[in-house]
Amino acid sequence: MEGLISLKSSPGTSLRSFPSFNQPPNSFARRFSMDLPLRRSSFPAIRAQQPGTISPKEEEEEDALKVKEWEVGMFQNEVAASQGIRIRRRPPTGPPLHYVGPFEFRLQNDGNTPRNILEEIVWHKDTEVSQMKERKPLATLKKFIENAPPTRDFVGALKAAHSRTGLPGLIAEVKKASPSRGILREDFDPVEIARAYEKGGAACLSVLTDEKFFKGSFENLEAIRNAGVQCPLLCKEFVIDAWQIYYARIKGADAILLIAAVLPDLDIRYMVKICKILGLAALVEVHDEREMDRVLGIEGIELIGINNRNLETFEVDISNTKKLLEGERGQLICQKDIIVVGESGLFTPDHVGYVQEAGVKAVLVGESIVKQSDPGKGITGLFGRDISL
Ligand SMILES: O=C(O)c1ccccc1NCC(=O)[C@H](O)[C@H](O)COP(=O)(O)O
């Protein structure tokens, strides 16, 4: 029964009485996978009411809401796909139910299974953020923000470090684990690591806040902020909802990551504006030419990260930075005075020199420095000299 994950009959009917539906051919499955969801109300007699369950009217309303949610989710994905975004958003109620006569069924890969790690992260984030929003609604967050201390100048710190050292300004990442590398450091004390990075000459810090896939947390961000570390802090999150930006601001962030592989243009525009209102810098991350072109078409972007890691396949290739900065793209970036950050896979002074030559004025580095017994000395190793002086 390839392509079919559930097929059930209404109470009182039997699959055996409809042998042709028992094992629908693929063409049958394909035909229905392309249909819009069939409205439950068109099939009033499909499901008999179970004693003690909700009334048919309530059930109908609930189904109508689910269909609406599904349609909105699908619309969102269509807009994203038209911009070349392959990462789909989680369908709010799972894959659509299809109805044929007395049967209802769902099709495999009808939008219900994440296709890669980034999609899995984003789908999980969707559930996580919905729950967090219920506990802390936006109105509550806004009240906290009124009394929050001012943010620090993230972009200014990178520029100052670059002018001071002649090397790319360093955003040093407080990273305990990652989906591609597993645990990077067992004795992980975020504040101690942050202090070591600051002492070692980092211009800014990046703090992973995702718990499930990176073993990070917002508590880490808050603790680093409250420990008196002066470097501006990037909240390294998978942002899918503006609510997360407000939350990051409350937890001490000075900047936040926006991933173009996940967010359609309109979301990026909107979120960049929210960041400006909240005094946060937005690091907009791209990893291919199409994403770079989309982002270069958006007004008000000051900071673009080029990720050398393909977040769908984990492949790391530092020549990606060079590729995306060649020719007209590089020229446009200079004209717009955008600071480019080379991200991922940087381990040696040669790597840093290579991306600097390609045109970056900042680098974002995690693994190679966090794994050192003294992460501050790790920075000296990465640049080939002490950049704290
Ligand atoms: O690091 C991962 O395995 C990863 C997997 C899926 C999505 C994002 C991922 N990493 C986020 C980053 O981009 C890096 O943490 C950051 O650029 C530092 O990279 P590195 O210096 O290679 O640790």
Q: Is residue 302 part of a domain?
A: yes
Q: Are residues 229 and 376 in the same domain?
A: yes
Q: Are residues 54 and 136 in the same domain?
A: no
Cα of 86 vs centre of ligand 1, distance in Å, is: 19
CB distance 310 to ligand 1 below 6 Å: no
Domain of residue 262, CATH code: 3.20.20.70
Q: In this structure, which residue's CA is closest to atom 17 in ligand 1?
A: 344
Cα of 98 vs centre of ligand 1, distance in Å, is: 39
Q: In this structure, which residue's CA is closest to atom 16 in ligand 1?
A: 344
The best mutation among 284, 344, 364, 369 to test binding of ligand 1, ranked by most ligand atoms within 8 Å of the C-beta, falls on: 344
Residue 349, pLDDT score:
98
Q: Quick one: CA dihedral 106, 111, 112, 116, positive or negative?
A: positive
Residue 67, pLDDT score:
61
Q: Are residues 283 and 377 in the same domain?
A: yes
Q: Are residues 174 and 53 in the same domain?
A: no
60: containing domain: 4-113
Residue 69, pLDDT score:
58
Q: Quick one: CA dihedral 146, 204, 174, 307, positive or negative?
A: positive
Q: Using an 8 Å Cβ cutoff, are 161 and 203 in contact? A: yes
Q: Are residues 77 and 138 in the same domain?
A: no
CB distance 179 to ligand 1 below 6 Å: yes
CB distance 365 to ligand 1 below 6 Å: yes
Q: Are residues 248 and 317 in the same domain?
A: yes
Q: Is residue 321 part of a domain?
A: yes
Q: Which residues sit opposite 378 in a β-bridge? A: none
Q: Are residues 92 and 221 in the same domain?
A: no
**239: Cβ contacts below 8 Å, ≥ 6 apart:** 245, 256, 257, 258, 259, 262, 263, 271
CB distance 280 to ligand 1 below 6 Å: no
Burial class, 191, CB count within 10 angstroms (exposed 0-12 / middle 13-18 / buried 19+): middle
Q: Which of 66, 94, 113 is the last residue of a domain?
A: 113
**374: Cβ contacts below 8 Å, ≥ 6 apart:** 196
Q: Copy the structure tokens of residue 58.
A: 């309530």
Residue 82, pLDDT score:
73
208 CA: nearest ligand 1 atom: 15
Q: Is residue 187 part of a domain?
A: yes
Q: In this structure, which residue's CA is closest to atom 15 in ligand 1?
A: 366
CB distance 180 to ligand 1 below 6 Å: yes
Q: Is residue 21 part of a domain?
A: yes
Residue 113, pLDDT score:
78
Tally of domains within the chain? 2
365 CA: nearest ligand 1 atom: 21
Q: Which of 113, 148, 169 is the last residue of a domain?
A: 113
Q: Are residues 94 and 135 in the same domain?
A: no
Residue 186, pLDDT score:
95
CB distance 320 to ligand 1 below 6 Å: no
Cα of 32 vs centre of ligand 1, distance in Å, is: 39
CB distance 237 to ligand 1 below 6 Å: no
Q: Is residue 389 part of a domain?
A: no
Q: Is residue 147 part of a domain?
A: yes
CB distance 307 to ligand 1 below 6 Å: yes
Q: Which of 80, 113, 146 is the last residue of a domain?
A: 113
Q: Using an 8 Å Cβ cutoff, are 110 and 292 in contact? A: no
Cα of 365 vs centre of ligand 1, distance in Å, is: 9
Q: Are residues 126 and 205 in the same domain?
A: yes
Cα of 201 vs centre of ligand 1, distance in Å, is: 21
Cα of 83 vs centre of ligand 1, distance in Å, is: 24
Integer Cα distance of 108 and 2 in angstroms: 8
CB distance 344 to ligand 1 below 6 Å: yes
Q: Are residues 216 and 340 in the same domain?
A: yes
Q: Are residues 219 and 187 in the same domain?
A: yes
Q: Is residue 388 part of a domain?
A: no
Q: In this structure, which residue's CA is closest to atom 19 in ligand 1?
A: 344
Q: In this structure, which residue's CA is closest to atom 10 in ligand 1?
A: 178
Mean pLDDT, consecutive 10-residue stretches, the chain (389 aa), reads 38 32 32 31 35 60 60 66 73 64 66 82 93 96 93 98 98 96 96 98 98 97 97 98 98 98 95 97 97 97 96 91 97 97 98 98 98 97 96
Q: Are residues 86 and 192 in the same domain?
A: no
